[in-house]
Every structure is written in structure tokens, then in C-alpha cells.
Structure 1
Amino acid sequence: MLIGVTPQSRNTEGLFRTRIWGLLEPYVRALESQGASIVILPPQAGDRLPALLRQLDGVLLPGGVDVDPAQFGEEPIPELGEVSLERDALELFVARYTAQHGIPTLGICRGIQVMNVALGGSLYQDLPAQGFRTVQHSQKAEPPVLGHGLELVGHSPLDKLFEPRFRVNSYHHQAIKDLAPGLRAVAAAPDGIVEAVVLEGHPFYLGVQWHPELLPAQWGIFRLLVEAATGQRVR
């Protein structure tokens, strides 16, 4: 079972200064716990990326830095954080491709935001600066502390795992503003911020705003991706 994952980068120090593209361990552990084998989707793939995506059974778009507001037609506000143009280009292409070709896809934190922007939606660049101050979306406490509650709305694969109301961790300051055409909100925070989406008519295109990879009790979300990918392989 091959699951492609988009990487994040960091600069190294010392004699051989360079940039490393890789994956954070919690994503690896969560996917491997469900029987998945991981393929890193490199930004350098270029024209080879569609052929690579066609070999996969599913895709994970993980968390990371902010999405450049130029991608949804806005000027940056002072509270905007670090962005990565290379990662934006890679993940926006991947999110559109998997949406168009029915490839099972899970987006986490930044990943749900990328899904929304890729399909024509927009983001709040900074929740506190844009009027959302009553819910702890960027919690200071480390896992396994949970930051806030949310409520499921309508039907989605999340119904298989959670009660209608449950609690999640929360480590973000950007969030969905205008929902992209075709996406449907399936969970919301108490202040109305979208916490999960699905793509109508797609076999499995799920985005969540929290970080289930840090909560082993919620690794069932990764099982949903692997199950959908297994079904895709059979077809």
C-alpha cells in the first residue's frame, strides 16, 4: 500500500550547509501503524510528478508553514508567518490532481488549507488578527493536551470514528475562510471555524484542521485513508 507524502524542508548548519526535505516522525508512525508504505513526493519531481502520482494508492498532505496569500489573491498581512513557494507549488498541484483523478487524499492542518486553496477557496491569514479570539486555535500546551471542542456537521467518514462532539488539539493560526466549490464542511469549532472538509463526489478527499498524528487514539483517521486506498487499488 503506497501512500505519497509531501515533505517539509529545513536548512542545515555547519560545513556542508544545505537544505533537507523530509517527513516528521509522527506522520510516519501513524501511517506505518496502518500498514502503509511511504513515498516522499519531492518538489523537484517536476514533469515526472503526474506519473509518480498515478503509481500511488493514496496521498497525505501534512502540516507545515503558512500558505502564501498570493495563491488566493490577497496581500500578506503583518501577522503572516513563514511561507514556502516550492511547497505551495508542489502541494497545490498534488491537491488538484488527486481531486480530479479520484486518488484518496488526507490533508492535515496546512493540508486542509492547501486543499481549499487548490480548489478555489481562500484562508484567514491570522485568526486573532482577523477577529477570532474566543477559541484556542494555537494552543501552547503540548500533546496529548486537547485545545478545544468541535462538532461534526452532516455525514462524513469521521462519523465512523467520533461522537458528534469531541475534542482535538490545535496548532494553527490560518484557517479556511471562503470554502472552495465542491468542498463541504463536516466539522466546525465553537466559533464557526471549519475544522474538517470532504469533496463531494470523490471516493475519499478528507481534510482536518487538527493534528491526529500526535494523538494515537485518533490514528483511525489514517486507517480511513488506507482503507480508501485499498479500495482504490482493488478497482
Structure 2
Amino acid sequence: MVSKTNKPVIAITGPSRGAWMPRFCVALAVRRYGGQPLQLRPGDDVTTVAPDGLVITGGHDIDPVLYAGEPEVHPNYDKERDAFEGEVIRYALQHRLPLLGICRGAQLLNICRGGSLHQELKSRRQHTSNRWTILPLKTLSVRIPSQLHQLLRCSPCKINSLHNQAIAEVGTGFEVSGRDLDGIVQAIEDPDEDFLMGVQWHPELLIFIRRQRHLFKRLVKVATLRLNARPQ
């Protein structure tokens, strides 16, 4: 088990290699708001770490076998990571830990609750570009009321877009709290949990925008409250 301080341990998952920039940015945001970031990769044991909160980061598309789907495209899957992060998410759900899923992390979170994905989005776009952009050039319509709106305090908002797939059927217990101009799901949340949210964009690459940092601030705050509520 990780040595605990008065700071909540926020586990940040990712692939076996690479993806250092988004993981670094998540860790930066976690530290800013008083959390202790801990990087986890396939092969690590989340039960040994026993984190106080989690961030499931973005990356490769998810193997459709996980949601009983037939392959429609031929992207680059990472089955080792799918299995590892699926275990991490199920651990978080079992222990009701605060969790933020980013891009593929949001998709996998949805799958773990019985949801499914659109495997390609180009044919579903009429009002938005299918081009990837790290800049906040895409329009997000936020549902009011929702926890997402409480955090972002805007609707519409501007977000970035770096994904091939997106949530189709929404998993059990989740509500859609954000869509783009084509109606494609951009955010889900569980209203019965203190913080269980998935966002399709990459807020860690927009941490220069205060409202985007609020997602990490809320995660760390909930984890801190849970940590302080434990018997000493």
C-alpha cells in the first residue's frame, strides 16, 4: 500500500509506454489542488495502491469485443490496457471512489456500466468537423442542471477534440450532461455519486482555462473529504 499523507492519492492510469504529456498535465492539475498523483500502468495492482480517487486517461480506441460489438473499423487496440483499466474502474465503482474518465477513459467507464460505443464518427457528423484539434474549437452544449454545468458554468462551452469513437448507448446509472452540435455524447455523469464523470474531450490539455481545471479540483476535493472522513 502507498504511504498516505494528508493528501489524497489520485491514481492516473495510462498505457505501458508513452502518453507522458497528458499524464504529466493531469498530475500537474492534481498537485495544484492538493492531491498526490500516482501513475499506474498495466501490471500494477490497484488494490495494493488503494487510491482515494482516479483519472482514466485517453489513448487508443477500445476493442469492441468488450461491448459485444462487431469490428467496423481497423484501429489500433491496446487489449492489455483495456483489461487493466477495466479492473481499475470496477474497483473504483465497488468502492465508490471519485473518478474522472477522459476520452477513452470515459468510453471505458461507460462500457463497464453496460454501455456501448460508436466505432466511427465521420458518417455521423453534419455540423462539426471530424478533424482532431488540441485547441478549444469545438462547441459543447451542457445540460442544465447537471454537475458538469456546476463546474464549467457555461453552455455552450468550447472544448478540444481528439477522438475516433464516442459513447452510443449510455451505461446504467449515467446521464448525458454534454453533447456536441451533432448530438454526439461528450459527457456523462452519475447523479447519485459525489463525482463519477466521463468527458470525451481532453481537459488536461486545457488546464490554462480555469473552468477546465474545475474538473480536477472537484475530483481532489471529493477524494480529500473521503480521506478525512476515514476513522483515524
TM-score, scaled relative to structure 1: 0.85
Q: Which runs of 4+ in 1 moved over 6 A?
A: none
Percent identity, aligned pairs only, is: 33
Counterpart of 1:65, as a letter, is H
Match of 2:31 in 1: 32
2:138 to 147, 150, 155: 147
Cα 1:132–1:21 shift into 2, 3 Å: closer
What value does the CA root-mean-square deviation take over the aligned residues?
2.0
Deviations 1:126-180 (A, max 9, x none): 1114x334312543x443x422332324321441332232111111120000001
Match of 2:221 in 1: 227
1:61 aligns with 2:56: yes
Counterpart of 2:11, as a letter, is G
Residues of 2 paired with 1:76 and 1:209: CA distance?
21
Unpaired runs of 5+ residues, structure 2, are 1-7
1:132 to 120, 125, 129: 125
Residues of 2 paired with 1:21 and 1:138: CA distance?
20
Match of 2:3 in 1: none
Q: Is the 8 A contact 1:170 1:211 kept in 2?
A: yes
Residues of 2 paired with 1:220 and 1:21: CA distance?
22
Match of 1:14 in 2: none
Residues of 2 paired with 1:153 and 1:138: CA distance?
28
Counterpart of 1:49, as a letter, is V
Counterpart of 2:47, as a letter, is P
Residues of 2 paired with 1:213 and 1:35: CA distance?
16
1:72 to 67, 87, 92: 67
1:8 to 12, 15, 36: 15
Residues of 2 paired with 1:226 and 1:26: CA distance?
15
1:83 aligns with 2:77: yes
Deviations 1:96-119 (A, max 9, x none): 221221101011111110110111
How many residues are treated as equivalent by the alignment?
218
Q: Is the 8 A contact 1:104 1:232 kept in 2?
A: no
- Secondary structure (helix, strand or coil) at the match of 1:38 reads strand
> Which aligned pairs between 1:154-169 and structure 2 lie closer than 5 A?
154-169=145-160
Match of 1:102 in 2: 96
Residues of 2 paired with 1:137 and 1:151: CA distance?
20
Residues of 2 paired with 1:118 and 1:92: CA distance?
7
CA apart distance, 1:28? 2.2
- Secondary structure (helix, strand or coil) at the match of 2:137 reads coil
Q: Is the 8 A contact 1:127 1:133 kept in 2?
A: no
TM-score, scaled relative to structure 2: 0.86
1:210 aligns with 2:204: no
- Secondary structure (helix, strand or coil) at the match of 1:75 reads coil
1:117 aligns with 2:111: yes
Counterpart of 1:225, as a letter, is L
Residues of 2 paired with 1:21 and 1:134: CA distance?
30
Residues of 2 paired with 1:118 and 1:35: CA distance?
29
Unpaired runs of 5+ residues, structure 1, are 11-19
